[in-house]
Amino acid sequence: MKKRRKETAHELAVQNTYGLAPGDYDKLYRLQGGRCAICRRATGATRRLSVDHDHASGAVRGLLCRPCNSMLGHARDDIEFFQRAIAYLILPPACRLKGSET
């Protein structure tokens, strides 16, 4: 009974906060294969996945685990941030430092 009340409360909260229709959270969860849309590791079994949305338009984008949602928030949805992160992973500054030693 308590679990059902929590599920109903969550359903109403995402409907009111993000404008999702009844059942949309569960549909989105299934569409994503029951995993965080970014890391694909988190399943929401321990902590429900967060509804991610575009802060400018309010449009819902998908469901994310808390770390991935925080990462997007920290990056402020800046695509160049992620391009720099990719470049960093491919060729970290320390590798360039070693290459310049003579």
More confident residue, 98 or 28: 28
Q: Is 84 a domain residue?
A: no
Question: Residue 84: which pLDDT band, with cuts at 50, 70 and 90?
Answer: very high
Question: What's the mean per-residue pLDDT of the chain?
Answer: 93
Q: Is 71 a domain residue?
A: yes
CB 20 within 8 A of CB 5: no
Q: Is 9 a domain residue?
A: yes
pLDDT of residue 2: 87
Q: CATH number for the domain including 71?
A: 3.40.1800.10
Q: Is 22 a domain residue?
A: yes
Q: Is 92 a domain residue?
A: no
The mean pLDDT value for 36-53 works out to 97
More confident residue, 34 or 7: 34
Residue range(s) defining the domain that contains residue 17: 2-76
CB 22 within 8 A of CB 31: no
- Number of domains the chain is built from: 1
Q: Is the dihedral of CA 82, 87, 90, 95 positive or negative?
A: negative
pLDDT of residue 99: 60
